[in-house]
Every structure is written in structure tokens, then in C-alpha cells.
A and B are shown apart, each in its own frame.
Chain A
Amino acid sequence: MVGLTTSAATLALGGGALIGLAAAALLLLNGRILGVSGILNGVLDRAAWPGRTAERGDIDWRIALLVGVVVGAGVAGWASGAPAPRTGFPGWALAVAGLLVGAGTRLGSGCTSGHGICGIARLSPRSIVATAVFMATGFATVYLLRHVLGALA
């Protein structure tokens, strides 16, 4: 069963096109791949291991982009009348999820944006494999939680 209105589908395609425009612009302007985990890790590593990682000039654009993501999402969400946010989701599950997503994207060198959009658009074999793997374990995890354990639904 599929549940979706035409306007939600159009917004999803349009939102995807905006994401693509952002990725294309970062490549054409700054020569960089738009991968949120990698961009964030550049800032984290600079803070955690100062002097041993990226040069100074490599940090400003990362921070500007990350701040832009938060502000852009906040403004667009407000302007488009996004539904009220999820409530009651357990904090322990958010913490476990964060640890796994942080460790997994570091070890796997990318996330949904870097591998799933930029990497596949470049036809990178690593990104195609990584995307297939994180989609598969994502599907399996939700199936297990919702339909076997009856948890977090």
C-alpha cells in the first residue's frame, strides 16, 4: 500500500531538485562533494585533533554550509506549513541511532547525500554499494522493529 498525495509527490521531486542544485553548485563553485557527514567531520576533526587535520581555510565553508542547512530547513519548513514535529520518541533510541549513524558514516565514508546522491551521480562503485547496503539494513531494521518486535512504531 502506498500513501501519497499529488502535491506531496510534486514537493518531493522539487525538493530533490533543490538538493541536486545545491550539490551541483558546490561542485561547480567550490569543487567539493556535498556530503553532510564528510563536511561535518571536517569541522569535528579540527576541534578534536587541532593542528593535525585540515588547514584553516578549509573550515569556514564547512561551517557556513552546515549553518545554511539548519536555517534553510527551518525557514522552508515554516513557510511550507510542515506538520508538527514527532513527539514521544524515546531519547535512548535517538542516542543509539546517533551513535550508529555517526560511527557508520565515518567508517563508511559517507551518508545519504555523499554516497546516495553525489556518489551515485558520479557512478562511483563504492557509493552504489554503500547506498545499497545502508538501504538494505535500514529496511531490515524497520521491519524488525515494527513488524517483529513491535517497538518504536
Chain B
Amino acid sequence: MNGDHDARDHAPHHRAGLWPAFAAGLVGLLFGAGLALGGMTDARVVLGFLDLAGTWDPRLLLVMGGGLAVTALGVRLAERRGRPFLADHLQLPTARDLDAKLIGGAALFGVGWGVAGYCPGPGLAALAINPGEALVFVPALLAGSWLAKRSAR
């Protein structure tokens, strides 16, 4: 008898139905298209940016600049509005500590990024752009993340 009430009590989490997933799919399409147009799905372009002593390729800086400008605007709008259109509240990171885990993790990530020229987004996008490489990189990425989480427990 209480089943219906229970379902209704939990309803706010699902109120928006399929819309959040639909919106996220469109967001992913935009993001992937932006990566590809900016040259970021080509690991040679990324390594060209990281190679300060070579023929430096500034595209990653331009992509970050364009991305930052528009995102900063979005952050302002979202914070002013408060409640998102398809969810109950904004979910922003709350951690404040500049700890060894943050810095050590970022350092490891940078080394891996410099080895192959892939960060997680372009690495996933490579499933469509360069599947021969992505079929090695993506499983290794998942394994690394899994191992790091397991050892941190």
C-alpha cells in the first residue's frame, strides 16, 4: 500500500524524466564537435602544444581561451539563477584543500598526457577518430582509474 507513496516521495529525483539525459547527449555532441574542430582530437596537435622547444602549436591555448570565456559566462548565469532547468540544484565541487593527492594526481596525469597526447575527452573521442589507438588507451585509462580508486580505499 505504501508502495505508491514511496515512489512519489522519491519522485523529485526523476521529475525531469529523460530530459537530463537528452540534454547531456546534446552537450556531449557539442563538446565532441568542439574538440574535433579545435584540433584537440589529434594527439599530434596536443603534443605540439606541449613541445615548447619544438615548432610550438598554440591551438590548445586558443581552445582553452575560447572555452574559458564562454564557460565563465555560463557559471555567472547558473549561479545567478540558482536552480538548474532540469535538476533540483547545482552540484559544484566543495573541496578546498590543496593537498598532496590533488597535486600528485595532477602531476601523474600531466606525465601521461605528455606521453601520448591524450587527456580523457580526446582519448574517448579517439574511439571515432583513431580507434586503433583508443582501443588501447581507453581500457588502460579505465584500469588506471579503477586501480587508483581501489588503492585509495
A residues with CB within 8 A of B:
1-4, 8-9, 11-34, 36-37, 40-41, 44-45, 48, 55, 57, 60-77, 80, 82-83, 85-87, 89, 91, 93-109, 111-113, 115-122, 124-126, 129-131, 133-143, 145-147, 152
**Smallest CB–CB gap between B111 and chain A, Å?**
5
Contact B55 A99 (CB under 8 A): no
- Asked if A118 meets B71 with Cβ closer than 8 Å, knowing A15-B39, A31-B91, A142-B50, the reply is yes
Contacts of B14 in A (CB 8 A): 57
In the bound complex, residues from chain A placing their C-beta under 8 Å from that of B142 are: 40, 44, 102
B3 within 8 A of A: no
A86 and B42 contacting across the interface, CB-CB below 8 Å: yes
Q: B residues touching A (Cβ–Cβ < 8 Å)?
A: 13-14, 18, 20-44, 47-48, 50-60, 62-75, 77-78, 81, 83-93, 95-98, 101-116, 118-130, 132-133, 136-149, 152
B115 pairs with A12, CB closer than 8 A: no
Given A31-B91, A134-B106, 14 other A-B contacts at CB below 8 A? Answer: A9-B62, A12-B58, A16-B63, A17-B66, A23-B71, A29-B20, A30-B86, A69-B29, A69-B121, A77-B128, A108-B107, A111-B119, A124-B93, A130-B103
